[in-house]
Chains A and B, each alone.
Chain A
Amino acid sequence: MLSKKNKEALFNPLSKDNPVLVQILGICSTLAVTVKLEPAIVMGISVIAVLAFSNVIISLIRNTIPSTIRIIVQLVVVAALVIIVQQFLVAFNYEVSKQLSVFIGLIITNCILMGRLEAFALTNKPWPSFLDGIGNGLGYTIILVVVAFFRELLGSGTVLGFKVIPQWCYDHGYEDNGLMILPPMALITVACIVWFHRARNTELQETN
């Protein structure tokens, strides 16, 4: 079940080959949906689901896909899955679906998806493809959650909607940093995480 290769497919994207930190993919949604933790988690779960299932589907039909229209086939599969996720959200978590609005639809354009389908699912069996999808989705979700945690904590003083910064601090002149809510600070937060990550993993540092 979990051979060495499969383990790599599952765990490498979490750190050494992280889609956001190392490949710098999927940045757009990382900036957009990380103001609050809850939408970030829902977005992460949605991406994991879409990525894992599209990887499996493409991998199952990989030997039948005509290579000339393979991108179209991938797009149709991803688009169909994204619409399904969107419909489920509207039906079961309307509040979050309103917050995520266009970004669920934009999972289609998330580079991580097409990247994994092209690079992995088209040449691998369904089970490793599934693990690869879960791994990459998790790698993306972890970053989303870390960024959203700091942005919500510093920007609104809450975590998952619960007040965590005591009123005492506000009474003594502490203020929520409104800048954290704006997209530029998401970029800076991601950059700080990338910095920290590379500092810890010297093999990832580029040499000039």
Chain B
Amino acid sequence: MNKNSNTYQILYAAVMVVLVGAMLAFIYMALKPRQEQNIANDKRNQILSAIHQATANESEIPATYQKFVVKDLCVDAKGAVVDSAAGCAFNVDMKKNMKLPEAERKLPVLVCDVEGQTKYVIPVYGAGLWGPIWGYVAVNDDGNTIFGAYFSHESETPGLGARIADADFQDQFKDKVLYKEGAFKNVTVVKKGQTPNDGSDYVDAISGATITSRGVGAMMQQCMAAYDPFFKSIQSRTE
């Protein structure tokens, strides 16, 4: 048989591709449940990071999550609770959610209990320099003060934008307030040494990563502002 004839080559390539494709599809299907479980656990750990309870031990994640996250809530743009089924907030796909018009968005809230104190964890999602960035922001039960923040990214520059995932950037957010004199102001990310004009609380941006830092600020503004009615309702409850 002539190995260099066109028919042989085309047949060879076709058979090879079909075989390899079928094998990969089979392996993907077989491993999918485990992979999804890992991804969900990783997400749980990210949420736990926002309330400073992340665990390094993978097998402990589900139990720790159960212990601290007591309730899932979904609120609408007016602050009213529309869904409180278990997992309703956890399962919101933020990427798809952010593409919806504001009025149709489900606003997920994870209600956590840290040593007797209620914390509200809000998922945030936005754009960095190269790809999506996301995070979880935990707000105290006064509906104003930030308890903790966790950010991560898909493909920001290592050593620059990627540092939003570092603890020293995230720790800056602790104890910052979202409201000044009753109006939503957000926590602004500004260049080191500068202060925002509108008197809002601020954190230092990462030098050399202007666009990623701005992305974090914009993400906070865009996602947190939508919860304004929800935060207001908590504030009025505690007053």
**A residues neighboring B (CB under 8 Å):** 64-69, 72-73, 76-77, 80, 83-84, 87-88, 90-92, 94-95, 98, 182
Chain A binder among B31-39, B79-87, B215-223: B31-39
Most buried by A among B8, B35, B42: B35
- Report chain B residues within 8 Å CB of A77: 20
Instruction: Find the B residue at minimum CB distance from A84.
Output: B27
B23-63 interface code vs A (CB 8 A; 1 in, 0 out): 11001100100110011011000000000000000100000
Query: A72: which B residues are within 8 A, CB to CB?
Result: 13
Within 8 Å CB of A98, what residues of B?
42
Is the pair B35, A91 in contact by a Cβ cutoff of 8 Å?
A: yes
Complex Cα–Cα for A88 and B12 (A): 28
What residues of chain A lie closer than 8 Å to B159, measured between beta carbons? 182
List the B residue with the shortest CB-CB distance to A73. Answer: B16
With A66-B4, A84-B27 in contact, is A94–B13 under 8 Å at CB?
Answer: no
Task: Determine if A94 and B41 form an interchain contact, defined as CB atoms under 8 angstroms apart.
Answer: yes
State which of A65, A92, A94 has its C-beta within 8 Å of the C-beta of B42.
A94
Find out whether the CB atom of A88 lies under 8 angstroms from the CB atom of B31. Answer: yes
Are B38 and A69 in touch, CB under 8 angstroms? no
CB distance from B25 to the nearest CB of A (A): 11
Considering the chains assembled together, what is the distance between the CA atoms of A64 and B11 in angstroms?
Answer: 12
Return chain A residues, CB-CB under 8 Å to B42: 94, 98
Report the minimum CB–CB distance from A201 to chain B (whole Å): 35
Given contacts A72-B13, A73-B16, A98-B42, contact A87 B3 (CB under 8 A): no
Closest to A101 in B: B155
**A80–B16 Cα gap in the complex (Å)?**
11
Q: For chain B, give the interface size range.
A: 20 to 34
Q: Which residues of B contact A67 (CB under 8 A)?
A: 3-4
Considering only CB atoms, which chain A residue lies closest to B32 in the complex? A91
| Cross-chain contact B58 with A95 (CB below 8 angstroms) | yes
Cα A7 to Cα B96 with chains together (Å):
56
Q: From residue 138 to 190 of chain B, which have CB atoms closer than 8 A to chain A?
A: 159
The answer to whether residues A94 and B24 also contact, given A73-B16, A76-B17, A182-B159 and a CB cut-off of 8 A, is: no
B9 touches A (CB below 8 Å):
yes
Known: A69-B13, A91-B31, A94-B58. Is A80-B20 also a contact (CB below 8 A)? yes
* Other 15 A-B pairs with CB < 8 A, given A76-B17, A87-B35, A94-B35: A64-B3, A66-B4, A67-B4, A73-B16, A76-B16, A76-B20, A77-B20, A84-B24, A87-B27, A87-B28, A88-B31, A90-B35, A91-B34, A94-B42, A98-B42
Given contacts A66-B3, A94-B39, contact A80 B24 (CB under 8 A): yes
A66 touches B24 (CB 8 A): no
Closest Cβ of chain A to B153, distance in Å, is 12
Distance in angstroms between the alpha carbons of A67 and B38 in the assembled complex: 42
- Which of B4, B28, B38 touches A68 (beta carbons < 8 Å)? B4
Name the CB-closest residue of A to B21.
A80
